Structure 1
Amino acid sequence: MYLTHFSEETHRNLLDHIPQCTGREVGDWLRTLSDGPSLLRFDERVSWLRGEHALSYGHAKALVHEFDLRRARRNLG
């Protein structure tokens, strides 16, 4: 479980800047997470993104959080 939480505003700001900082859209990164290894823990997925794709901690964390939010919405819908 991750200990540091971003506010909703910080989360949105990080997501908004990902295309400028990485050259890839958020949707591309979410597909990368979906197609990546089956890591269950949040911090493992953040570490994988950081190590495999050289993302900053903040961007990796925001992407994993967004991935989890969207997956939860799909499961509830």
Structure 2
Amino acid sequence: MPLNHSPETHSKLIARVPDITGRALPEWFQAIDNGPSFLRCDERANWLAAEHGLTHGYAAAIVHEHERHRRHHF
């Protein structure tokens, strides 16, 4: 599965993250920030999925959103 989803699919996945995972995006961003220092997004998504029991689709969407958030706030 590709790391990047269509904008529409990405938006839908991100909107469902709190309901599906029980955690808000800032909590997931903190988990990524506190996790291993992977250089590649796909490595972070694979780790997030394995470590927290997420599907790859949700893990990839969270990592992608984390990257977007970091670019806009730094």
Common topology (TM > 0.5): yes
Gap regions ≥5 residues in structure 1: none
Do the aligned partners of 2:17 and 2:24 also contact (CA within 8 Å) in 1? yes
Task: Provide, for residues 45-64 of structure 1, a one-character-per-residue CA deviation record: whole Å limited to 9, x for no partner.
Answer: 01100110010111000000
**2:5 is equivalent to residue 6 of structure 1:** yes
> Match for 1:55: what amino acid?
L
TM-score normalised by length of structure 1: 0.86
Counterpart in the other structure of 1:19: 18
Counterpart in the other structure of 2:37: 38
Based on CA coordinates, which of the two structures has the bigger radius of gyration? Answer: 1
Superposed structure 1 runs of 4+ greater than 6 Å apart? none
Gap regions ≥5 residues in structure 2: none
Q: Which has the higher contact order (CA 8 A, sep 6+)?
A: 2
Aligned length: 74
Shift of 1:74: 2.1
TM-score normalised by length of structure 2: 0.89
How well do the aligned residues superpose, as a CA RMSD in angstroms?
Answer: 1.5
Mapped to 1, the partners of 2:34 and 2:71 lie a distance apart of: 17
Task: Provide, for residues 10-52 of structure 1, a one-character-per-residue CA deviation record: whole Å limited to 9, x for no partner.
Answer: 1111011111111111111111111111111111101100110
Counterpart in the other structure of 1:73: 72
